[in-house]
Amino acid sequence: MPHAAALLDDLQRYAPDIVEPDDFDHFWRDTRTEASARPVLVDVRPEPTDLRLLDSWDVTFAGFGGDPVRAWYTRPAGVSEPLPAVVEYAGYGRGRGLPHERLTWPTAGYAHLLMDNRGQAGQYAPGDTVDPHGAPGGPWPATWGILDPRDYHYRRLITDAVRAVEAVRALPGVDCARVAAVGNSQGGGLALAVAGLVADLGAVLTTAPFLCDMRRAVQLSEPAPYGEIARYLAVHREAEDAVWRTLSYVDGVSFARRATAPAHFGIGLRDTVCPPSTGFAAYNQYAAAARPPVPPAREMHVYPFNGHEGGEAVHVRRQLRWLGSMLHPAGPSGRLPGHES
């Protein structure tokens, strides 16, 4: 492995020319328009958690194709005024789990929406959202419908992620002007896609992002999810052109180039799941195609001796401090709204 300093120097200059389809913007504009034609909230009901300091709700919203997508909405108990919100996206193979599993953001004073991953639950955490759309492709989520961008699983999942922002803004107690998209791995890729598609997002926090610099990632990475695409191509040898075309519509670098929200990145230099260069490809071109061309605040935190786990608790602390400086969830006293005493 190259010396960390030399490797980092190369990564800081890495800005590949990602091939974008000519109709990239038209494709996503049409996809979003179709989804937004339906009311976003389907059902909201209280969810008992036995957590005295937090209130939680079981939310169902209309995602891609109007499909019901489940989410947990959690916020500090007894706080009635609008709060800044964090929309969090889970990693590959994870569902939303149980509402008391992810408490960092609501205990930090944010309204928190955790989106379920359609069709992916069961490998790491349970979920409650199916993906009812079948299309030719492989047996894994990363390959579902991979022969055509309109059929691809990530067209649906990215649309769900955008609709999750619309859903949280429709929920009570949310300051709609202060909404952040947050995620690790697959969740980080979804957060970047949302940043490129939602023009008025307040901030984006992405760690070890999946879906970036896809052609390079598939060639470099052996583990899932990229390895699943490589294994599909090892069997379907004549599908390569169609697969690269489909992946070009969901590449996080293309979304990052269109983003305008302040951005916080984290990457482990020993990551073999999402190669570090692919995350740097998104960071180094972040906001490059934004209009107007005003570069937003952005930070990159690098962990030279860590892999896909990144900086873990140390990185979360940095995220909390950075997002607090961007969205100001606490008053001058440092206390949460509604807890002044």
Greatest Cα pair distance, the chain, in angstroms, is: 67
Pair 272, 177: CB distance under 8 Å: no
Exactly one of 112, 153, 308, 315 is catalytic; which is it?
308
Distant-in-sequence, close-in-space partners of 234: CB < 8 Å, separation ≥ 6: none
Q: How many CA atoms lie within 13 A of 40 on its CB side?
A: 17
Helices assigned H by DSSP within the chain:
4-11, 24-36, 104-107, 153-170, 186-197, 214-220, 226-235, 240-248, 252-258, 276-284, 312-327
Residue at 100: amino acid letter: H
Distance CA 3, CA 7 (A): 6
Distant-in-sequence, close-in-space partners of 174: CB < 8 Å, separation ≥ 6: 82, 83, 85, 111, 168
Relative to beta strand 263-268, strand 298-303 is: parallel
Distance CA 158, CA 161 (A): 5
Tokens linked to 137:
């492709």
- Map residue 75 onto helix, strand or coil: strand
C-alpha closest to that of 289 among 319, 268, 327, 259: 259
308 tagged catalytic: yes
Exactly one of 112, 116, 271, 277 is catalytic; which is it?
271
271 tagged catalytic: yes
10 tagged catalytic: no
DSSP, residue by residue, 182-220: EEETHHHHHHHHHHHH-TT--EEEEES-SSSSHHHHHHH
Exactly one of 185, 221, 254, 277 is catalytic; which is it?
185
C-alpha closest to that of 157 among 133, 123, 138: 133
SS3 content of the chain, % helix, strand, coil (to 5): 35, 20, 45
- Map residue 170 onto helix, strand or coil: helix
Residues marked active site are found at: 185, 271, 308
